[in-house]
Amino acid sequence: MEFVIDKEVFLKSLQKIQGIVEKRTSMPILSNVLLEATGSSLLVTATDLEVGMKSIYPAEVAKTGKITVSAKKLYEIVKELPNQPITFSTKDNDWVEILCGKVHFNIVGLSPDEFPYFPEVREENLFEIEGILLKDMIEKTSYAICNDDTKYNLNGLFTKVETNEKGEQCLKMVATDGHRLSIASGPLKGTVGQELLKGVILPKKGIYELKKVSEEDNGVLMFGFMENSAVIKRGDSYMVMRLVDGDFPDYNRVIPASNDRIIKVNKEAFTHSVRRMAILSSEKFKGIMLEISASSIKISSSNPELGDAMEEIDVVYGGEPLAVRFNARYLLDVLAVAETETVEMKFKDELSPSIITPENSDRFLAVIMPMRL
């Protein structure tokens, strides 16, 4: 196998898969990238058996063939090469030679025969979805994905197509870790697969890679399902992620229906105040107190080892006084993705879950459990 490829193109191809290749693995082949030279292009494939990516790049192929090499080391080598065409060729016993200008590398490869099978994607089964919509919805929900591996059915984003009150089709993404819940929705046109009508759980690692793909430009992605996996196509790249096997909890039951004590607060002022108060909250629990009265919130924190802090900000509220304690980080995560100038917080009492939404928006809703006083 031998090919010549532009340095920037090769670098981009290797950079794209760094988040996918397995760093600590009992299977060394999963730390490798599969390079296949065919016709006038190079196929670059990486997988960790949960998430995989295959992309096609232009190259001058002198001799077809395939090989796998360490994805991390190859990326580090190409990154430091001079800005000239790179000649890549295989030698006996799976060795690889890399030439660029006056630079010469010989590195050890592994036989491509051991590399896991990458499924063939049938494009007719895919439907269109806007990259910017996916990026926005992932940002609004992924912070609430559970990091406890024993709760495997919460280790991802529940994704489903539903029909809203107006009879329009919309895509919903939901994440929860048991302490908080986040729901984002957006319009979706066209026909979708049965899987999305039923609802699927996309894995956490796949979600982060999908977000990177959707950020590349604001075009359209192709999305679909096959062999218990989700498939995403953008341009000449395919990504496949294995769906999380399990049932996601009924999130509609978690959303409080009788939270009628509503306050409106300026997002910017509230965010800065919560950040300031969090400085003195305990490292582990990050607890801050909100004391809500008719026209203001008194936000405070105290820590026997450090001291205490208090700040008052204006709000719009006409109800009974209320005191609630929250994890500051949970509040900040929600405020960071609420896009309106004003946010609404809806309470029932001191110990019931609270709802936070951007003002006059039905595209995003967060539920946060308070801490016990």
The string of pLDDT tens digits covering residues 62-98 is: 999 999 999 999 999 999 999 999 999 999 999 999 9
The answer to whether 74 and 97 have CB atoms below 8 angstroms apart is no
Instruction: Tell me the pLDDT band of 176, cut-offs 50, 70 and 90.
Output: very high
- Residue 244 tokens read as 């999380």
Q: Can you tell me the distance from the alpha carbon of 115 to that of 27, in angstroms, rounded to the nearest whole number? A: 10
324-334 pLDDT per residue, tens: 999 999 999 99
Token pair 């405070």 is at which residue? 300
32-66 pLDDT per residue, tens: 999 999 999 999 999 999 999 999 999 999 999 99
Q: Can you tell me the distance from the alpha carbon of 90 to that of 158, in angstroms, rounded to the nearest whole number? A: 44
Amino acid, single-letter form, for residue 249 = P
Q: Can you tell me the distance from the alpha carbon of 42 to that of 39, in angstroms, rounded to the nearest whole number? A: 8
DSSP states of 303-335 as a string? ETTTEEEEEEEE-B--S--EEEEEEHHHHHHHH
Nearest to 1 by CA among 91, 69, 113, 85: 91
Say if residue 259's pLDDT is above 90: yes
CA angle 212, 218, 222 (to 5 degrees): 75
Domains defined for the chain, CATH in brackets: 2-114 (3.10.150.10), 123-252 (3.10.150.10), 255-368 (3.10.150.10)
Q: Can you tell me the distance from the alpha carbon of 294 to that of 316, in angstroms, rounded to the nearest whole number? A: 7
Say if residue 125's pLDDT is above 90: no
- At 373 the pLDDT is 62
Query: Among positive and negative, which fits the CA dihedral 267, 271, 272, 276?
Result: positive
**What pTM did the predictor assign?**
0.92
- Residue 287 tokens read as 């607890």
Taking residues 201-227, report their average pLDDT. 90
Say if residue 262's pLDDT is above 70: yes
Alpha helices, DSSP H, located in 145-266: 194-198, 204-215
Instruction: Tell me the pLDDT band of 223, cut-offs 50, 70 and 90.
Output: very high
DSSP state of 155: S
Instruction: Tell me the pLDDT band of 227, cut-offs 50, 70 and 90.
Output: confident
Q: Can you tell me the distance from the alpha carbon of 129 to that of 220, in angstroms, rounded to the nearest whole number? A: 6
DSSP state of 244: P
Amino acid, single-letter form, for residue 44 = V
